[in-house]
Amino acid sequence: MIIKYFTDNDLYKFSVMYAIQRLYPWSYVKYEFINRGNNVFPAGFAQRLTEELTQMEKLKMTKKEKAFMEKKCYFFDPVFMDFLEGYRYDSGEVFVSQNEQGELSVVVEGYWYRTVLWEVPLMAIISELYFKMANASPSDVESRAVKKAKMLAEIQADYSEFGTRRRFSFDVQDRVVGCLKEHSKQFFKGTSNIYLAMKHDTTPIGTMPHEWFMYHGALYGYRAANIKALEAWVEVFGGSLGITLTDTYTTDSFFESFSLKQAKLFDGLRCDSGDPIEFIDKTLAFYKQNRIEAESKTIVFSDSLNLDVVKRIKKYVNNRLHDTYGIGTFFSNDVGVKPLNMVVKLTSVKSSPKTEFHQAVKLSDVLGKNTGNLKEIEICKMTLGLD
């Protein structure tokens, strides 16, 4: 059994689950696995994956996990925590198949408030199972992690570990988090993985996901998507979890709709695609235009980071705002193998099971990262006046 703990999942999945339950309890959705790297999966992979998903039905939150979340995740109410204690995965929500060429198909379908939890453990299982069936072994786990931790501390970069989805294995991620905490001291701010945050006595870290904006775009229109998504987030969290993504429908489009009220209320932004230097310039210009002190705001950089990229960004920021880094695969799967290039994305949504599906798309600030129906992507671009 690859996933052994209920909270072996990222904080952002629970935070968006909470928001969905509060505002959109009848919403019904589909997610799809997207194999960006075109990896060929070994014969029998789909069957093994299905068995792992069935095993997840045994998972339940322990009293220790609940107590940790109640202490650290102060933005969740007691009703939600009690709900999580009774939550059980239903593998019938996940449809897995594989053709003779080794292409893997995975579709998740059901009420959004339930299916939202599948994405991260599903990807973690696919990654770990892939390397297990390939008889791959990790190398230099601690030595590489310690070297990175010391260098990040040396350049005084605040950072968190975001590597659950594409990790080599749970064991590797566990060992890496331990090394980072020990050797970066105050510069290591936490991990996205709630169970590992509990185990290593650190902070669970998370922001809002692209799917939150994608849902609003699909149902309310692309011009209204950012405004509706941000206002809904504030309605639920009231200022907590105040780092917002900008690139669901491109950062340029985001800044056109980002109001002064929201800019003052949200603690900062997350740069998850595109040129980070350009992102910094656009952000500083926006805050200056709105007479907001940039030094009081944060940018979380989280796109394909390594030590050289972090150094370059940090040097350019030069204390003009608070920069922090969410580093994923570079930590959890830098062990001598080529990590899988994959995502699980929201593809269709409807406001209730009785209504019709609407296509959900994501544009990103990088062309190759666009996801969703091609025709719908073009409609989105045309609506927003994008090339």
Query: Which tokens in the block code for residue 380?
Result: 């989105």
Q: How far apart are CA 182 and CA 177, in angstroms?
A: 9
370 part of a folded domain: no
Same domain, 236 and 357: no
pLDDT in tens, 53-74: 999 999 999 999 999 999 999 9
pLDDT in tens, 189-202: 999 999 999 999 99
| pLDDT at 108 (0 to 100) | 98
3 part of a folded domain: no
pLDDT in tens, 96-109: 999 999 999 999 99
Q: For residue 266, give the amino acid letter.
A: F
294 part of a folded domain: yes
| pLDDT at 207 (0 to 100) | 86
230 part of a folded domain: yes
Same domain, 342 and 311: no
Summarize the confidence of residues 283-298 as an average pLDDT: 98
47 part of a folded domain: yes
Same domain, 180 and 42: no
On whether the CB atoms of residues 327 and 305 are closer than 8 A, the answer is yes
Banded pLDDT at 367 (limits 50, 70, 90): confident
pLDDT at position 369 over 90: no
| pLDDT at 324 (0 to 100) | 98
Summarize the confidence of residues 181-185 as an average pLDDT: 96
Q: Mean pLDDT across the chain, nearest whole number?
A: 97
| pLDDT at 173 (0 to 100) | 98
User: Domain span at residue 318?
Assistant: 141-332
How many structural domains does the chain have?
2
Same domain, 59 and 183: no
Summarize the confidence of residues 271-290 as an average pLDDT: 97
Q: How far apart are CA 377 and CA 372, in angstroms?
A: 7
Same domain, 302 and 352: no
On whether the CB atoms of residues 240 and 271 are closer than 8 A, the answer is no
Give the count of alpha carbons within 13 A of 269, CB side only. Answer: 25
Q: How far apart are CA 57 and CA 6, in angstroms?
A: 10
Which spans in the chain are helix H?
11-23, 45-55, 63-72, 78-86, 112-115, 119-133, 141-154, 170-184, 194-199, 210-220, 225-237, 251-257, 260-265, 276-289, 307-317, 329-332, 374-384
pLDDT at position 335 over 90: yes
Same domain, 328 and 343: no
On whether the CB atoms of residues 313 and 276 are closer than 8 A, the answer is yes
| pLDDT at 64 (0 to 100) | 98
On whether the CB atoms of residues 93 and 312 are closer than 8 A, the answer is no
Same domain, 166 and 300: yes
Same domain, 221 and 321: yes
Beta bridge partners of 29: 110, 349
- pTM flag (> 0.95): yes
385 part of a folded domain: no
pLDDT at position 368 over 90: no
Same domain, 301 and 323: yes
Q: Give the whole-number percent of the chain exceeding pLDDT 90.
A: 97
Same domain, 221 and 302: yes
369 part of a folded domain: no
Q: Are strands 268-271 and 158-161 parallel, antiparallel or unpaired?
A: unpaired
366 part of a folded domain: no
pLDDT at position 123 over 80: yes
Same domain, 121 and 92: yes
